[in-house]
Amino acid sequence: MPSFGNGRRVAIVAGVRTPFARSGTLLKDYTAIDLGRFAVAELVQRTNLDGRLVDLLVYGTVLPSVTAPNIAREVALLPHFPRTLQAYTVGRACASANQAITDAADQIALGHADIAIAGGAESLTQVPILHSRGMSDVLVAASKAKTMAQRLGILARLRPRDFVPITPAIAEPSTGETMGQSADKMAKLNAISRGAQDRFAVRSHRYAAAGTADGRLGAEIVPVPHARGAEPMIATDNGIRADSTVEQLAALKPVFDRQYGTVTAGNASPLTDGASAVLLMSEDRARALGYTPLAFIKSYAYAAVDPGEQLLQAPVLAAPVALARAGLTLRDMDLIDMHEAFAAQVLSNIKGLASAAWAARAGFSAATGDVDDARLNVLGGSLSIGHPFGATGGRIVTTVSNELARRGGQFALLTVCAAGGMGHAMVIERT
Distance CA 380, CA 207 (A): 5
Helix, strand, or coil (residue 414)? strand
Beta strands in 19-98 (DSSP E): 21-22, 56-60, 86-90
CA distances (Å), 56 to each of 134, 178, 212, 292, 374, in order?
41, 35, 32, 21, 37
- The answer to whether the beta carbons of residues 389 and 422 sit under 8 Å apart is no
Q: Determine which one of 80, 205, 417, 424 is catalytic.
A: 417
Distance CA 59, CA 74 (A): 10
Instruction: Give Cα 384 to chain centroid, integer Å.
Output: 14
What does residue 247 show for φ and ψ, rounded to 5 degrees? -65, -40
Neighbours of 308 (CB within 10 A): 14
Answer positive or negative: Cα dihedral of 14, 19, 24, 27: negative
Distance CA 135, CA 330 (A): 54
417 is catalytic: yes
Q: Determine which one of 94, 205, 339, 424 is catalytic.
A: 94
Q: Determine which one of 80, 339, 387, 424 is catalytic.
A: 387
- The answer to whether the beta carbons of residues 34 and 307 sit under 8 Å apart is no
Contacts of 187 (CB under 8 A, 6+ apart): 193, 194, 197, 261, 262, 263, 344, 347, 348
Cis peptide before 388 (omega within 30 of 0): no
Helix, strand, or coil (residue 215)? coil
Helices 343-353/179-189 angle, 10° precision: 40
Helix, strand, or coil (residue 362)? coil
- The answer to whether the beta carbons of residues 14 and 401 sit under 8 Å apart is no
DSSP state, 309? Answer: S
387 is catalytic: yes
Distance CA 33, CA 271 (A): 17
Annotated catalytic residues are: 94, 387, 417
